[in-house]
A and B are shown apart, each in its own frame.
Chain A
Amino acid sequence: MSEMAAPLTPAQKSTDQFEIRDYLRLDLFPHFLCPGCGHGIALRALLWAIHDLDIEKDQLAVVSGIGCSGRLSAYIDANTFHTTHGRPLAFATGLKLARPDLHVIVITGDGDCLAIGGNHLIHAARRNLDITCIMLNNEVYGMTGGQVSPTTSLDRFTTTTPLGNQEPGFDACALATGAGATFVGREVTLQTTALKILMQEGIVHRGFSFVEVISDCTEIYGRKNDLGSSPEMVLSQKRSVLPKFDGSAVDKPFRAGNWDTGVLLRKERPEYYEAYRAHCHRVLGDGKSK
């Protein structure tokens, strides 16, 4: 088996711009995202973070699930895996355990990660394997036409809540924190530089890191709820944030103008693969396990 990737040093550089084309599979363009969708901005922030961290594309593995977020991996010029609905974290777990030398990043959505994939999220957080999970939260199942998701705000209309949503939503960051994630953060797409830096910190963090991106689904969710055009949506998201830097808990009620953003949690706990190897070595002695 391969050696664990050497720890990344927090970015020495923070570029104002970078050549995004160097990180894209341009022959797949034009992309499939709707005009105004926040996912493209999130993708840009991620590629920018990878650029500033000097991660080699050959050593980068991006694993995604199903839905709008799931399609993003195909556009990245790296080792990319478009897996099944809700399971990218489980695929990524096998991949990272087999190839600890790779930098493994998961791109997922609110439905993919919190509904069908909720079990995998909590256990990935508990294990603390060195995976970065980027969850794009647009509060809706966009790919299937706009159904209610585990993060849809109260009273919002979707194709399966024609009378307004009455289910309480998940606070994904609180969930990841409660499950044991060692790095948790949230950012809106409008603050792209802050989002890039947050992603960078998540990738550098040795262990399971969870980054929630408040994205916008203008075409389906925005239209259905009269939330305005994309600029109006992202501006209202920006107005709702309460920047928080490196706190230790998420104690604000979720939604309606109360989005804590920034690094919400950062703590040290043994990384799963390193701990597994070290323990085997301790118990079995030299020559039995590295």
Chain B
Amino acid sequence: MMSQIQSNIPQRQSLQGNQACALGAIAAGCRLFAGYPITPSSEIAERMSKELPRVDGVFVQMEDEIASMAAVLGASMGGVKSMTATSGPGFSLKQEHIGYGIQAEVPCVVINVMRGGPSTGMPTRPAQGDVMQSRWGTHGDHPAIVLTPSSVQEIYTQTITAFNFSEIYRIPVVVLYDEAIGHLVDTVDLPNPESIKINNRKWADGPAEDYEPYAPDADGIPPMPLPGDGYRTHTTGLTHLESGFPTQVPEEVTRVTSRLLNKIELHRDAIEQYELSCCDDADILVVAFGITARASERAVNNARAGGIKAGLLRLVTLWPFPERILQQLVERASHVLVPEMNAGQLILEVERLCPDSTPVSGVNKFDGDPIHPDEILAKIEELADE
């Protein structure tokens, strides 16, 4: 089924970011999409509603954002890869169910196309104000995986990666990008379907009597039961034992919650993705993601042309934050610059990881316009003069 649709698509296409997201999801094996209309993410739902019937999948527009996240979890618990897409207000509404997905370890993908906030904010304007919400939006201690593509091409590939990570690590994975690249139209090379690496969750396959749905393998990840396969397990958002049934015994809670918190940490090396440009001898290190990383790259190149040793660490994985590479780079860099389309969120994490001796400055903009390369360059030049 999948190859049929893929073969209908020319290898090189002019695509909008949100369209590329939908095609990436289909290629990754997503067969159920539940969503609710919201600017600037609606094109994802629209494209999914067109594509899914052609691959024997299901599209459903639910009654609200909360219900669409619930339906996505329900589908995945039934064994079908699923996704939803939203923006600011909808992302806020989905937080309880993202927490359920983390607690019950339900693989799924949540696309958040960021717009200006808080509240209704600026629906048609780009922003990067959900950096911390994507990490800490749901209540309680919890792990998170958040990916931040910076081009239309990368929206396609990172949507596939998001599905793969969610399946491997049994966690809802958030793909975070802003309105600017969501609505950007660019040339995308769609890989041959056979060449796309697809990961599927581990299924329980032993005898049902011995099976405990939350007993992890050596990798910290428990194989998942498929309803109908005879395991007849219980899934709950309550803190639960390996058996799946709730516990409030302090030692048991510590054990099972620690495993949940550590399972992403354990695989940090496999999850962290980033891109370095001109970093080898960089005195001024720019740390950025998404559309702002593209502006930063231009600024770094222009700075280099002017003789300033600037470099760029572009984060693709936002959470878990690629800590080690940043710490390596700041051993050499004398300044760190964090441009972001918010009042200063990513910078908090960068500051946490930098030694006190390394000054960290921001370029912050939250007026609904992307940050221009010249604004970043001006700051780089200012730092170079110091």
**B63 touching A97 by the CB < 8 A rule?**
no
**A97 touching B230 by the CB < 8 A rule?**
no
A73 vs B234: C-alpha distance in the bound complex, in angstroms? Answer: 8
Q: Which residues of A contact B58 (CB under 8 A)?
A: 1, 97-98, 273, 276
Rounded to whole Å, the gap between the CB of B234 and the closest CB of chain A is: 5
A47-84 interface mask toward B, CB cutoff 8 Å, 1 = contact, 0 = none? 00000000001110101000000000110011111111
* Segment with Cβ contacts to A, from B76-84, B158-166, B190-198, B373-381: B76-84
A76-103 interface mask toward B, CB cutoff 8 Å, 1 = contact, 0 = none? 0111111110010011111111110110
A289 adjacent to chain B (CB < 8 Å): yes
B308 adjacent to chain A (CB < 8 Å): no
Rounded to whole Å, the gap between the CB of A216 and the closest CB of chain B is: 25
A119 adjacent to chain B (CB < 8 Å): yes
Q: Which of B54, B62, B78, B238 contacts A95 (CB 8 A)?
A: B78
What number of B residues sit within 8 Å (CB to CB) of A? 46
**A61 touching B227 by the CB < 8 A rule?**
yes
A82 vs B62: C-alpha distance in the bound complex, in angstroms? Answer: 20
Rounded to whole Å, the gap between the CB of A4 and the closest CB of chain B is: 12
B278 adjacent to chain A (CB < 8 Å): no
A288 adjacent to chain B (CB < 8 Å): yes
**A84 touching B100 by the CB < 8 A rule?**
yes
Most buried by B among A1, A58, A61: A1
**A84 touching B228 by the CB < 8 A rule?**
no
Q: Which residues of B contact A90 (CB under 8 A)?
A: 62-63, 66-68, 70-71, 74
**B236 touching A74 by the CB < 8 A rule?**
yes
A161 vs B68: C-alpha distance in the bound complex, in angstroms? Answer: 34
**A80 touching B235 by the CB < 8 A rule?**
yes
Q: A90-B71, A97-B60, A119-B64 are in contact. Are A58 and B236 (CB under 8 A)?
A: no
A287 (CB) vs chain B CBs: closest residue? B4
B72 adjacent to chain A (CB < 8 Å): yes
**B228 touching A99 by the CB < 8 A rule?**
yes
B37-71 interface mask toward A, CB cutoff 8 Å, 1 = contact, 0 = none? 00000000000000001101110101110111011
Q: Which residues of B contact A122 (CB under 8 A)?
A: 63
Q: Which residues of B contact A83 (CB under 8 A)?
A: 70, 73-74, 100, 237
Rounded to whole Å, the gap between the CB of B6 and the closest CB of chain A is: 14
Q: Which residues of A contact B68 (CB under 8 A)?
A: 90
A77 vs B237: C-alpha distance in the bound complex, in angstroms? Answer: 18
What number of A residues sit within 8 Å (CB to CB) of B? 44
**B80 touching A1 by the CB < 8 A rule?**
yes
Q: Which residues of A contact B4 (CB under 8 A)?
A: 287
Q: Which of B63, B73, B238 contacts A91 (CB 8 A)?
A: B73
**A99 touching B238 by the CB < 8 A rule?**
no
B71 (CB) vs chain A CBs: closest residue? A94
A34 adjacent to chain B (CB < 8 Å): no
A77 vs B238: C-alpha distance in the bound complex, in angstroms? Answer: 18
**A123 touching B236 by the CB < 8 A rule?**
no
Q: Which residues of A contact B82 (CB under 8 A)?
A: 94, 98
A97-123 interface mask toward B, CB cutoff 8 Å, 1 = contact, 0 = none? 111011000000000000000011011
**B53 touching A87 by the CB < 8 A rule?**
no
B64 (CB) vs chain A CBs: closest residue? A119
**A95 touching B235 by the CB < 8 A rule?**
no
Q: Which residues of A contact B56 (CB under 8 A)?
A: 1, 289-290
B56 (CB) vs chain A CBs: closest residue? A1
**B63 touching A119 by the CB < 8 A rule?**
yes
B295 adjacent to chain A (CB < 8 Å): no
B304 adjacent to chain A (CB < 8 Å): no
A87 vs B104: C-alpha distance in the bound complex, in angstroms? Answer: 15
A20 adjacent to chain B (CB < 8 Å): no
**A93 touching B97 by the CB < 8 A rule?**
no
B31 adjacent to chain A (CB < 8 Å): yes
Q: Which residues of A contact B31 (CB under 8 A)?
A: 1, 98
A284 vs B56: C-alpha distance in the bound complex, in angstroms? Answer: 11
A26 vs B312: C-alpha distance in the bound complex, in angstroms? Answer: 60
Q: Which residues of A contact B77 (CB under 8 A)?
A: 81, 91, 95
**B234 touching A74 by the CB < 8 A rule?**
yes
> What is the interface of chain A, defined by CB distance below 8 A to chain B?
1, 25, 28, 57-59, 61, 63, 73-74, 77-84, 87, 90-99, 101-102, 119-120, 122-123, 273, 276, 280, 283-284, 287-290
Known interface pairs A28-B245, A87-B66, A119-B67; 19 further A-B residue pairs with C-beta atoms within 8 A, sorted by A's residue number:
A1-B56, A58-B230, A58-B232, A74-B236, A74-B245, A77-B232, A90-B63, A90-B74, A91-B74, A94-B32, A95-B75, A95-B77, A97-B32, A98-B32, A98-B74, A98-B75, A101-B228, A123-B63, A287-B4
Q: List 27 A-B contacts (CB under 8 A).
A: A58-B227, A58-B229, A61-B227, A74-B236, A77-B232, A79-B231, A81-B74, A82-B235, A82-B237, A82-B238, A83-B70, A87-B70, A90-B67, A90-B70, A90-B71, A91-B77, A94-B60, A94-B70, A94-B74, A94-B76, A95-B78, A98-B82, A99-B79, A99-B228, A284-B54, A288-B54, A290-B56
